[in-house]
Amino acid sequence: MVNRHRGEVEAVLDGERHTLCLTLGALAELEDAFGEEDMLALAQRFEAGRLSARDAIRIIAAGLRGGGQDFTEPEVARMQGEAGASGFVDIVVRLLSATFGQPAGPPAGAAKPGK
């Protein structure tokens, strides 16, 4: 069972339930991957509402590793989600919301899950 107070979310990938969490280590990993200097810059990047498939892969992989699972980005890129691309967007939105305390909802201009 996930603990939202710790920033955890649950996602079904390849038919299995996984716990994702953007720990400080996972956030540091994302700062490096996105070339951001600090967590505020990282949060501002995500608030901008633009999300590439590569971004989603990086965020989900970091969240899985933060949740204690050892998945690489290439492994995450091959995973199947419950609702296709919109399902991956939903995972990222829920994970970022749990981490940064933003209201849950798709990034601006992103397709809503199920549409």
pLDDT greater than 80 at residue 107: no
Q: Average per-residue pLDDT in the chain?
A: 87
Helices 39-47 and 84-100: crossing angle in degrees, nearest 10, is 140
Higher pLDDT, 2 or 102: 2
The span from the CA of 51 to the CA of 7, in Å, is 20
List the chain domain ranges: 4-100
Q: What is the predicted pLDDT for the residue at 90?
A: 93
pTM confidence score: 0.84
Read off the pLDDT of residues 35-57 as tens digits, 9 standing for 90 and up.
999 999 988 888 887 889 999 99
Q: What is the mean pLDDT of residues 18-31?
A: 95
Helices 53-66 and 24-34: crossing angle in degrees, nearest 10, is 160
Q: What is the predicted pLDDT for the residue at 102?
A: 57
Of the listed ranges 26-30, 65-69, 97-101, the least confidently predicted one is 97-101
Strands 8-13 and 16-21, sheet pairing: antiparallel
